[in-house]
């Protein structure tokens, strides 16, 4: 598992190199490991209309879904930035991940200095919103 985690982090580092960040200059890379052992990398993609920006985590997630990964089929995620402390996913990304990843999925947060933190999605986002039918309340 440790080797897989290193590969995942490395994929996030490489994806970070493709970030489109002319406005913030803050490049982020992410990578998701699915239950078939496939790695889905992503980077942040900014836009002149700032709100249209997509974070690295959601780029990786949407790419994985487009590649056929199914809800619940993710084993781990890595997020990498050159921040003083490892960067956690933003609130929107946490909600997006909660739709597809199990609560115990490990999320590896890393920075350029080699610092690492591993949290679960549950640690990052307890009490996620899931749509239930009106009868269920």
State the angle between helix axes of 2-16 and 56-66 in degrees (0 to 180), rounded to the nearest 10: 110
Q: Catalytic residue among 57, 99, 115, 136, which?
A: 57
Q: Which of residues 62-91 bind ligand THU (CB under 6 A)?
A: 87, 89-90
CB contact set of 89 (below 8 Å; sequence gap of 6+): 55, 57, 79, 97, 107, 124
Among 53, 83, 95, 111, binds ligand THU (CB under 6 A): 53
Asked if 57 is an active-site residue, the reply is yes
C-beta closer to ligand THU: residue 61 or 69? 61
Query: Phi then psi for 2, rounded to 5 degrees?
Result: -60, -40
Output the CA angle 73-62-26, nearest 5 degrees.
120
C-beta closer to ligand THU: residue 4 or 26? 26
Q: Rule CB under 6 A: say whether 26 interacts with ligand THU.
A: yes
Q: Rule CB under 6 A: say whether 98 interacts with ligand THU.
A: no
Give the Cα separation of 37 and 95 in Å (integer). Answer: 24
Give the residue numbers annotated as catalytic, written as ranges. 57
Binding site for ligand THU (CB under 6 A): 21, 24, 26, 28, 44, 46, 53, 55-57, 87, 89-90, 93
């Amino acid at each position: 598992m440790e080797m897989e985690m290193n590969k995942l982090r490395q994929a996030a580092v490489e994806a970070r190199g493709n970030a489109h960040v002319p406005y913030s200059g803050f490049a982020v890379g992410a990578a998701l490991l699915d239950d078939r052992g496939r790695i889905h990398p992503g980077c942040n993609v900014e836009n002149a209309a700032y709100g249209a920006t997509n974070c690295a985590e959601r780029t990786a997630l949407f790419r994985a879904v487009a590649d056929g990964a199914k809800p619940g089929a993710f084993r781990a995620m890595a997020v990498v930035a050159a921040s003083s402390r490892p960067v956690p996913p933003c609130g929107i990304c946490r909600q997006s991940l909660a739709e597809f990843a199990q609560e115990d999925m490990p999320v590896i947060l890393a920075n350029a200095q080699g610092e690492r933190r591993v949290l679960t999605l549950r640690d990052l986002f307890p009490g996620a919103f899931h749509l239930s039918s009106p009868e269920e309340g």
